[in-house]
Structure 1
Amino acid sequence: MVSKPRKPTQKKGSTAKNSSRKKTSARKVSIADTKGKQLVIVESPAKARTVGQILGKKYVVTASQGHVRDLPKGKMGVDLDQDFEPSYVTMQDKRSLLNQIKKAGDQAKTVFLATDPDREGEAISWHIQTAAGWDNQENPPKRVVFHEITKQAVEEAFEHPRDIDMSLVNAQQARRILDRLVGYQISPLLWRRVQRGTSAGRVQSVALRMVTDREREINAFVPQESWTLDALLQKLDPQDNDLRSFVATLHSVKGTNKRVNVSDEKDIRVYESELKGAKFTVDDVRKRNVKQRPSAPFTTSTMQQDSGRKLRFTAQRTMSVAQQLYEGISVNGEGSVGLITYMRTDSVQVAQSAIGEARTYIEDKYGKSYLPEKTRLYKTRAKSAQEAHEAIRPTSIMRTPDSLKSALTADQHKLYTLIWSRMLASQMADAQSEATTVNIGAMCAGTSE
């Protein structure tokens, strides 16, 4: 499944693929001497610093800076007659880096592939292993997976290494092949029929269909006229200093429980004329206690939604900042620290240790009354959820946003505060409030009620 590396050529009609990770040009790096040491390969320099600090001097941690191989840019790169077999080439700007990684790995006692714990990370590890020629060795690289970059999580992962999961790799390959098939076969048609420079993609084409269908529903909608009537009222009690105005809305006619629905201006004007000069009195006041359960910890999608609504961050900006928090931030006195768990997840489940830490913090900070009697456990409602990872949470609830303010950028602090607050609230007791409903009667002129 591997073709000989060859210089890719840019074809005038090729399209960009849908990718969940931002591509960057490889930086020039120098890998330390690995003789007698263990080589660990991750994706980014920031992650390499954090993991290297945890593992110590017996390990050399380096970064692949993302993918090292991909489908060629100048042609399809997928053999439709051979079960969609992909043909990969080493990226031109990664050739030197890959040679350095191969040399360092050949000299090391053991190679550990510690890329992200998802299908993209699994594929990066597989591509590195295959391109370096390590897949047929007697002692092939070991795959280690951790969902948060903390001392406990990293050390536990290295105590339980595994082989590369080809099911995850194949899932990533299927996605990448679909990207290429959709882009290369539909985009040229769009150039001819719509406009030059337009493109189609595996994700954007489906999203466009959803938007189009919704727009058609809007255009097909037949608007219906609806009217409401509000009265601006004020207390008449001269002994009451609270003389603020309030609004009452026409709900029903006395003697009936049927809500007033008015679809014509003439009818609403009749009600308006009858209620002008009416005497308004409070008929009854009803109060009830309202409880509201806290929301579950963040998944990727709920984090993006909340960040967009409260912080005005785009999805891309949210994920970029979350990646920084996950890979490690330099914290005074601690060095580089991973502050949140892995940010690509559809799970709302949280480790028991993290729940215990949150409950301890809540009791110490706010008191027992803020804790529910039973530990809160959450389940994902979506049937398609894979739940391969935990929810997005702080690696330690004890690292409060205020304690990290000097170490974080403005964006990092805003998003960390959002994640920290959501996790803490998820383990609190229900919020309690009182809802009050006031029924006001109107005695119209010339009537007894």
Structure 2
Amino acid sequence: MVRPLVIVESPAKARTIGKYLGPRYAVKASIGHIKDLPKSKLGVDVENGFTPLYTVIPGKEKIVRELRSSAKGADVYLAADPDREGEAICQHLSEELSAKAKNVYRVLFHEITKDAIKAAFKKPGRINANKVGAQLARRILDRLVGYKISPLLWDKVRRGLSAGRVQTVALRLIVERENEIRAFRSEEYWTLGASLAAAAPPEFTAFARSFDGKKWNVADEATVRGIVAELGNTPFVVTRVHRREKKRYPVPPFITSKLQQDAARKLGFTVRRTMGLAQRLYEGVEIGSEGAVGLITYMRTDSTRVSEEALRDVRELVRTRWGEPYLPHHPIYYKAKKTAQEAHEAIRPTSVERTPESLEAHLEPDLLRLYTLIWRRFVASQMNPAVFDATDIEIDAGRVQFKATGSILKFDGFLTLYQEAKVEDTAAEQDAPEGEGVLPEVHEGEVLTLRELRPAQHFTQPPPRYNEASLVKALESRGIGRPSTYASILSTIQDREYAVKQDNKFFPTETGEVVVELLVESFKEIFDYEYTARMENHLDRIESGREKWNEAMSDFYRRFSERLLTAEREMRDVKTEAIETEEVCDKCGSKMVIKWGKFGRFIACSAYPECKNTREIPKLCSLDASAPRAEVEEIQCEKCGRPMVLKRGRFGEFLACSGYPECRNTKRIVKSADSIGVKHDVPLDEVCPTCGKHLAIKHGRFGEYTACSDYPTCKYIKLKSTGVACGKNCGGEIVERRSRRGKTFYGCSRYPDCDFVLWNKPIPEPCPLCNAPFLLEKTTKRTGTV
């Protein structure tokens, strides 16, 4: 008898589900998508109803053959994730396996627990065509935009550039924020604090709120000094005392976007790292004798719904662990946004009784930190609010009105367990008066004693650059993309070198700014914030069955093709632009012009090609335009004695001899707040096995490496070991290497005698399924590193 076949996306998920289903079922993994549009061509027949040409992904042929063999004569249960991507995976598996299988079913679950798995297999269903249509529409939209617009960028800017439907809009946010910062002009302003004493302690500070009946707005020192002099002999009289009880309510359990933001702020995780860890917690982690256990519910969700069973469990935990004062009289139900998929739940522990403390021995540190964050937020969401005693005191002092505010925590409530991190998304008044602390008992009409007046100078700050948390919040608030796509959006704009992160802030590169400028000029509607959000709503309507995917594509493509034709005629050709400057060429006397090259703008002689004089445009050491300019150390070339100058190449800034091309000496650099210097070699105690001299840590274009200190006379380089024996059993070990293009790969230490090679990092742990001698670390756009 043929065993029923269950197919999921990953081996980890297969292992966890297999444990619950037992040996009666064969559980196998597709390792993500098995089919996609071909990379070599558009793959969409726009003349025939936007028919997609899906093909098996190169490298997946063996997996498909094995699944077909296992499906022969069997009942097949497709158990991919309960979202659009999962539904598309199921559709493609069904297309490949239906001819061989007895029956094909779709099973859905939102947590990998014994009860959830059994319930799903009791009621198998069919593939949701609407979800498949929504995923197909998104894929075709992205393909049309990418494949149709990218050649324009190759022609007008440089080859290798690409446009993304949603990524370009996210990049636009970064570029426009940078433009706001550049245009910002800081303005001076002054605050005035008064240290006061009442009849009862303690002393306290009140701040000026109004002057002559108008809101306090003093912009210069002379004015504030005049006010201070005036207040020296003025009585400070209490005019109003307002005491009240203030409550701070708990926040809902996590949805995907809020988990990404909180993990970024509190744990310092990138969005991709967060989603990769969450995927592992969902699919199953080895917990001692229990084996693989799914610890959280599905992590791609926009719903705050929680099952009644989970509510009962968490309320019982709050009652027994913290007591009745912390437990609300009734469960708290949170309102979800209109587009939320209520079939999903919020992100929560599959068992609230699995406390973070009970998992410390089983989870690696980052997994435990993320699980703790999820567990605490979920439990806190069903606790009573925190209660504060708040007091406001208003004080008249002649023409100036002061105010003091104080707040004392009376009952911590949910704050005993969880406090939401603040997001930095607007210009913060860093020196704003604080409103926490104890205020004395005072009464209206009481005259206070002035101890000290403290005027303070401030300057308005530009809006902050986006970090990952604030960029995700900006995308979410505008309805751009969906939380499940944010990780790939943020990764793509960095991978394409359209933006870089410095000190955890996003800075657009010169190329990124040019791309946004051209695309917004030529495709104003396509890359508009509201239009992009409307397209997401169209995808939601397709998923809910209220719209046909091919009709939506037809409407989009009609407008898009019109703009495309116009852009082909009218888009600026950045490659041929030459912006004249006042500078004169020191070699031929012609005007120097600003041109666009492979690595951005540079200054060149207008007499090119007769005169080939060029130079770098001076750049600030820091990408931060508001940062002080760094000075280059006076470093001489040790080969020819000429000064070294700062240049920029494809791998970033470096020092090069000013005698180029006669002298081609270069050096890596290290930056500080006010200078640029050379990265010096770090000598080691270890001896070179080739020549006997000491090894040193050196700095190359791909980072640090260990090599002989006598380079280039001795060219020995120490390869980084992985601790894994060569897969060909030749006696060598697998070591980390780099290709000529800088890509990391892993090969045998006995090369060239042994040509064994891997592109994924080997981990010295045996496979728990097949006992292979080592595992491979893989990174995908969807799941991150696993």
TM-score by length of 2: 0.48
Q: More displaced, 404-413 or 190-199?
A: 190-199
Q: More displaced, 325-334 or 145-154?
A: 325-334
Partner residue, 2:602: none
Mind listing any 5+ residue stretches in structure 2 that lack a counterpart? Answer: 400-446, 449-786
Pairing 1:432–2:387 present: yes
Shift of 1:412: 0.6
Query: What is the SS of the residue equivalent to 1:181?
Result: helix
Shift of 1:78: 0.8
Alignment of 1:355-374 (within 5 A): 355-374=311-330
Residue 312 of structure 1 is aligned with which of 268, 271, 296? 268
Partner residue, 1:209: 172
Q: More displaced, 136-145 or 413-422?
A: 136-145
Pairing 1:351–2:307 present: yes
Residue 152 of structure 1 is aligned with which of 115, 124, 129? 115
Distance 1:81 1:228 in 2: 66
Query: What is the SS of the residue equivalent to 2:60?
Result: helix
Partner residue, 1:55: 21
Query: What is the SS of the residue equivalent to 2:333?
Result: coil
Query: What is the SS of the residue equivalent to 2:108?
Result: coil
Partner residue, 1:401: 356
Q: Which structure has more strand as a fraction of its residues?
A: 2
Residue 127 of structure 2 is aligned with which of 146, 159, 164? 164
Distance 1:441 1:257 in 2: 11
Partner residue, 2:218: 262
Alignment of 1:186-335 (within 5 A): 186-215=149-178, 225-231=188-194, 233=195, 246-252=204-210, 258-276=214-232, 285-335=241-291
Residue 334 of structure 2 is aligned with which of 378, 383, 397? 378
Distance 2:150 2:222 in 1: 55
Partner residue, 1:80: 46
Residue 137 of structure 2 is aligned with which of 153, 167, 174? 174
Shift of 1:260: 2.5
Q: More displaced, 202-211 or 353-362?
A: 202-211
Shift of 1:191: 1.8
Query: What is the SS of the residue equivalent to 2:301?
Result: coil
| Matched-pair contact (CA < 8 Å) for 2:73–2:102 | no
Distance 1:443 1:169 in 2: 71
| Matched-pair contact (CA < 8 Å) for 2:73–2:100 | no
Q: Deviations over 1:169-220 (max 9, x none)?
A: 1111111111211111111111222233222112201212334445556666
| Matched-pair contact (CA < 8 Å) for 1:370–1:428 | yes
| Matched-pair contact (CA < 8 Å) for 1:307–1:318 | yes
Code of the aligned partner of 2:59: D
| Matched-pair contact (CA < 8 Å) for 1:345–1:387 | no
Code of the aligned partner of 2:78: L
Pairing 1:410–2:375 present: no
Higher gyration radius (CA):
2
Partner residue, 1:142: 105
Distance 1:95 1:225 in 2: 66
Shift of 1:281: 7.0
Partner residue, 1:30: none
Partner residue, 1:44: 10
Alignment of 1:121-136 (within 5 A): 121-132=86-97, 134=98
Partner residue, 1:113: 78
| Matched-pair contact (CA < 8 Å) for 1:345–1:388 | no
Q: Deviations over 1:117-163 (max 9, x none)?
A: 0110011011111123x0x6784311000000001111000001001
Partner residue, 1:185: 148
| Matched-pair contact (CA < 8 Å) for 1:298–1:422 | yes
Distance 1:328 1:376 in 2: 29
| Matched-pair contact (CA < 8 Å) for 1:43–1:65 | yes
Q: Equivalent pairs: percent with the same residue?
A: 50
Distance 1:398 1:409 in 2: 19
Query: What is the SS of the residue equivalent to 2:209?
Result: coil
Query: What is the SS of the residue equivalent to 1:228?
Result: strand
Distance 1:159 1:324 in 2: 26
| Matched-pair contact (CA < 8 Å) for 1:278–1:442 | yes
Distance 2:213 2:231 in 1: 19
Distance 2:33 2:298 in 1: 19
Q: Deviations over 1:227-256 (max 9, x none)?
A: 32123x37598x97x7xx754311245xx7
| Matched-pair contact (CA < 8 Å) for 2:72–2:101 | no
Partner residue, 1:338: 294
Shift of 1:441: 5.4
Mind listing any 5+ residue stretches in structure 1 that lack a counterpart? Answer: 1-34
Query: What is the SS of the residue equivalent to 2:328?
Result: coil
Shift of 1:89: 1.2
Larger relative contact order (CA 8 Å, sep ≥ 6): 1
Code of the aligned partner of 1:368: E
Partner residue, 2:533: none
Q: Deviations over 1:41-86 (max 9, x none)?
A: 0000000000000111101111000011111111111111111111
Pairing 1:423–2:423 present: no
Distance 2:209 2:53 in 1: 69
Residue 64 of structure 1 is aligned with which of 11, 27, 30? 30
CA-based RMSD: 2.6
Query: What is the SS of the residue equivalent to 1:229?
Result: strand
Distance 2:243 2:16 in 1: 54
| Matched-pair contact (CA < 8 Å) for 1:348–1:390 | yes
| Matched-pair contact (CA < 8 Å) for 2:71–2:101 | no
Q: Which structure has more helix as a fraction of its residues?
A: 1
Code of the aligned partner of 1:347: S
Partner residue, 2:721: none
| Matched-pair contact (CA < 8 Å) for 2:79–2:106 | yes
CA gap of 1:138–1:192, structure 2 versus 1, over 3 A, is closer
| Matched-pair contact (CA < 8 Å) for 2:71–2:100 | no
Distance 1:155 1:116 in 2: 16
Code of the aligned partner of 2:38: P
